[in-house]
Chains A and B, each alone.
Chain A
Amino acid sequence: MDISRTLNLIARHRVGAVIACLLVFPLVMPYEALAINILIFGLYAVGFNLLFGYTGMLSFGHAAFLGVGSYLCGIAIVSGGWPWWAAIAAGVAASAAVGVVIGYLAIRTRGIYFSMVTLALGQIVYYAFYKAERWTGGENGLRGIRVETIQLLGWQLNFVDPLTKYYVILAFVAAALWLVSRILNSPFGAVIEAIRENEKRTAACGYDVARAKLLVFVLSAAICGLAGALRALHLSIVPIDSLHYLQSGQAVMMCLLGGMGSFFGPFIGAAVFLYLEDVATSFTSHWMAVVGLIFMVFVLFFPRGIWGSLMHGLKRHGLGKEAAS
């Protein structure tokens, strides 16, 4: 069985497989800016998937981490005059710090309450940044994040050139994907999946469930923060909407569309979502209705998402047993 062998090979080298696809990706996309967007939102969805897909905690507040990552990276460059790499670090660190606070409060609740509470706590961050106009530019967003050249491993790279920009961002995404894959393969990765399957039993087995939940929440926040910091460098502005809970909803939609709890799902979801958005908005102004309807169809009929349904279908025919994970 050829398909079967290929799928198992992909599953075993999942990070390599994603990176190989992403390396040629800009060549098949209509324009580079869309490819960069998919790269960044794919990472955002991967960070979100770590919490939602693997640990079973549905957060509606992840825009806070994307937005804080963007804003702090942007503020470090605009007001602090920091170099780009330090600004990215600042964005990730700030997101992780906000993740500690929101996570500490939110994991006191479970299930749907967790979704409601993360949504509301995320809105605190939105309003706080909205009102701190001196630093964030308020309603107009943060402007003027200029990074024109980047020094990476001794090379002087032109960050204005979209293709170069794509590959610089891909380097960070690849590192983050390797980290996520490493986390999932570790004993800790097994613990968070155990929490998703049966929290009480995991606690009874002697694992500190609350600590594991907080840790995975903060890791997920940091990855989304990295996506946010990269987005600030890409757009050179930070729109205030990137903190709004509708932005959190986008992570949920991408994740479910692609297939939650799978390694490839978030990227497929982000790619399909953003590509459809790009196509649909060129001939209809009612994109919101289109995305709402597609999402409802997936929730009702394909809850496994594109990748999950595909793998499920193949598995029913006795193919690709390993690949579904």
Chain B
Amino acid sequence: MADITPSLLALQLMTGIALGAVYALLALGLSLIFGMLTVVNFAHGAFFMVGAFLGVYFLGLTGSFWFSLLLTPLAVGAVGLVAERFLVRPLYGRGIDYPLLLTFGLSYVMIEAMRVAFGIEGVATSTPAELRGAVNLGFGFFPLYRLFLIGATAVVVLGLWLFIEKTRFGLIIRAGSRDPEIVRVLGIDISKVWLLVFGLGTAIAGLSGVLAAPTRAVNPEMGISVLAESFVVTVVGGMGSLPGAVVAGLLVGIVFSMTSLFAPDLAELSIFVLMALVLLIKPQGFFGKAGLMS
């Protein structure tokens, strides 16, 4: 404990932000889908896991990390579109628990599908050649790839914000999450919007999978704990709130990384305890609308 210096703390903070970036992306996808469809996607962790596998697969196929970064979200989003159209859509209007139960079953099938396709051991990953090495940040050397992770997340968040706030389609999304009935009356086919939002949310989950793949072990079970962690982020940030997802994602990442510096045994536990505290003090989360939760 004696050798904890300000620069070590700063580096650990950066590590936490890089981890939090992945959490923020996961929670963004989850919140986007929830805010629009009031569906909690229990297969979100599985979409993340499929994204990690396909990322490694496309990297091997095309030899370019950038291609895989582009192709994977498209492929995972396509799976999401099929899942919404044929599995989730028949359940609208049949009670709020059913889509949740269905996606839970779907996650089992997706895990097994990846075991069949890539084996139960998982696949080896490495940092893409152009992003290896470390950068001097003034207080120490920080891995370039993790810096890229933070930057890429910032770009996605900014892009998503511009899309939702400044485009015509974004306007429909915002209106639809407030009152789908009125949007339908205005002559917009809301089921198409729901389809696309589900596809977009799962595509973001896939993207976070590719981005996270070089920093962790890629195996069929990797999404299982990630799902629980992204629930923590969503509850802390406030369900259905996009700024909440980003802020809470970063906070959870930082809490995890700081706890693993001071008390490594308690690292996994810390973020769940954080959620319990938030529930005690502010049950609707940081940015959630009061009353939405209760």
Interface residues, chain A, with chain B CB atoms under 8 Å away: 58, 105, 108-113, 115-117, 119-121, 123-124, 127-128, 130-131, 245-246, 249, 252-253, 256, 286, 288-289, 291-293, 295-296, 299-300, 303
Contacts and interface: CB of A to CB of B under 8 A. Distances in A.
Nearest to A246: B224
A296 B105 contact: yes
Contact of A300 (B90, B272, B293): B90
Contacts of A256: 101
Contact of A112 (B100, B109, B116, B275): B100
Given A110-B294, A300-B87, A124 B273 contact: yes
Main secondary structure of the interface of B (DSSP, over half): helix
B293 A296 contact: no
B228 A115 contact: no
A293 B113 CA distance: 12
B111 interface: yes
B108 interface: yes
B108 A108 contact: no
B269 A127 contact: yes
Contact of A120 (B97, B112, B232): B232
A115 B269 CA distance: 19
Contacts of B108: 288-289, 291-292, 295
13 contacts: A58-B100, A112-B97, A116-B231, A120-B235, A121-B272, A131-B266, A246-B224, A252-B101, A289-B112, A291-B105, A292-B108, A296-B87, A300-B102
Given A119-B231, A128-B269, A131-B269, A109 B101 contact: no
A123 to B, nearest CB: 5
Nearest to B112: A289
Contacts of A127: 268-269, 272
Give the top 8 A-B pairs by smallest Cβ distance, nearest first: A292-B108, A289-B112, A295-B105, A292-B109, A296-B105, A124-B272, A288-B112, A116-B231
A249 B228 CA distance: 13
A303 B106 CA distance: 16
Given A115-B40, A117-B235, A120-B231, A296 B106 contact: yes
B94 interface: yes
A120 B275 contact: yes
Interface string B105-122: 111110111011000000
B294 A296 contact: no
Nearest to B43: A292
Interface stretch (B150-158, B188-196, B209-217, B276-284): B276-284
A120 B269 CA distance: 10
Contacts of B232: 120
B229 to A, nearest CB: 9
B261 interface: no
B104 A249 contact: yes
B106 A292 contact: yes
Contacts of B234: 116
Given A120-B272, A123-B272, A300-B91, 10 more contacts: A58-B97, A105-B276, A109-B283, A113-B239, A124-B276, A128-B269, A289-B116, A292-B105, A299-B91, A299-B102
Given A120-B272, A296-B87, A299-B105, A109 B100 contact: no
Contacts of A288: 108-109, 111-112, 115
Contacts of B239: 113
Contact of A296 (B40, B102, B116): B102
A50 B100 CA distance: 20
Nearest to A133: B265
Nearest to A115: B100
B142 interface: no
